[in-house]
Amino acid sequence: MVSEVKSMISPDILDFNAYFPDDCKSFSFLIQVMVGPKGENSSESFAMEVCTPNWLNDHREEYESVIGKGKLIVFKFDLPNILSRIEKIFDGCTGKDWNEIAINLSRYGHWEFENYQERMP
Query: What's the pLDDT band for 118 if we cut at 50, 70, 90?
Result: low
Count Cα atoms within 13 angstroms, Cβ side, for 41.
0
CB contact at 8 A, 83 and 16: yes
Average pLDDT over residues 21-40: 95
% pLDDT > 90, the chain: 78
The answer, yes or no, to whether residue 2 has pLDDT greater than 90, is yes
Q: Quick one: how far is CA 64 from the chain centroid?
A: 23
CB contact at 8 A, 53 and 73: yes
Query: What's the pLDDT band for 32 if we cut at 50, 70, 90?
Result: very high
The answer, yes or no, to whether residue 120 has pLDDT greater than 80, is no
Give the separation between CA 82 and CA 98, rounded to whole angstroms: 25
CB contact at 8 A, 1 and 101: yes
**Residues 49-94 pLDDT 10s:** 999 999 988 887 776 777 788 999 999 999 999 999 999 999 999 9
pLDDT value at residue 119? 67
Phi, psi dihedral angles at 4 (to 5 degrees):
-145, 130
